[in-house]
Amino acid sequence: MANPTSHDHDPAPRWWLALDDGEHLAIDDPEAVAGDSAREQMVQLRLPAWRARDLGSVLAAYTRMVALVSDAAEVSGTEAPLASALRTAADTCSAGTAATRNEPRPISTGDRLRAMAVVQTERPTLTHSALVGVVDAAARWLEDREPDLAAGLLEAAAGDDAGRRAWELLQGVDRSDDPGS
């Protein structure tokens, strides 16, 4: 299935993650090119890793403060998904190297984001929280050396092909450039 957040003529990022409130987080982002074919202005959120972490903390604090304000109906207080995604994206920039073959490979936040993008492409109605839950549970099973359980969960959530693709991404296997994939 095609990425629902990209346009065929745009050199769009390979990985997009759409959050519950309509934000889009680009992953593996090539140089952004403005295009008007969507008939909607889009803002690509691109920040240095330190700023993404900082902004994520600010937005998380903002969300907590808005909850305390009695007249919160005039402002949006739903920045938690964006705050979480910004922190995760910042962590992706500093992900460590893979472990040796004899021990389970730690699954990076980047691998998790890519798997979430694949699952979301197939199941766009899943909320950000549901995506996190499915992918984190699958990642945990992989880290616990239970690959069949991880594959079963991802295939149940996203279908056979997308589930298998998300399972591979969680293990660090990216076949995007493979003509057979």
DSSP string across 104-140: PPPPPHHHHHHHHHHHHHH-TTS-HHHHHHHHHHHHH
Tell me, yes or no, whether 117 and 71 share the same domain. Answer: no
Residue 181 lies in a domain: no
In whole angstroms, give the CA distance from residue 133 to residue 131: 5
Tell me, yes or no, whether 73 and 99 share the same domain. Answer: no
Q: Mean per-residue pLDDT for 115-144?
A: 92
Domain boundary among 92, 118, 136: 92
Alpha-carbon Rg for the chain in angstroms: 17
Encode pLDDT of 34-52 as tens digits. 555 544 545 577 666 777 7
2 or 150, higher pLDDT: 150
DSSP secondary structure code for residue 71 in this structure: T
- pLDDT range class, residue 132, cuts 50, 70, 90: very high
44 or 140, higher pLDDT: 140
The whole-number pLDDT of residue 37 equals 54
User: Averaging pLDDT over each range in 38-42, 83-87, 147-151, which range is the top one?
Assistant: 147-151
Encode pLDDT of 10-22 as tens digits. 556 667 777 766 6
- pLDDT range class, residue 28, cuts 50, 70, 90: low
For the range 159-165, what are the long-range contacts, defined as Cβ-Cβ under 8 Å and sequence gap of 24 or more? Answer: 159/122, 162/1, 162/118, 162/119, 162/121, 162/122, 163/119, 165/118
Tell me, yes or no, whether 81 and 137 share the same domain. Answer: no
Tell me, yes or no, whether 122 and 161 share the same domain. Answer: yes
Ranking 75-79, 87-91, 146-150 by mean pLDDT, the lowest is: 75-79
Tell me, yes or no, whether 23 and 76 share the same domain. Answer: yes
Residue 23 lies in a domain: yes
Strand 15-18 versus strand 24-27 pairing type: antiparallel
Query: 126 lies in which domain range?
Result: 95-170
Q: Mean per-residue pLDDT for 59-63?
A: 85
User: Averaging pLDDT over each range in 14-18, 34-38, 75-79, 110-114, which range is the top one?
Assistant: 110-114
- Contacts of residue 14, Cβ cutoff 8 Å, sequence gap at least 6: 27, 28, 176
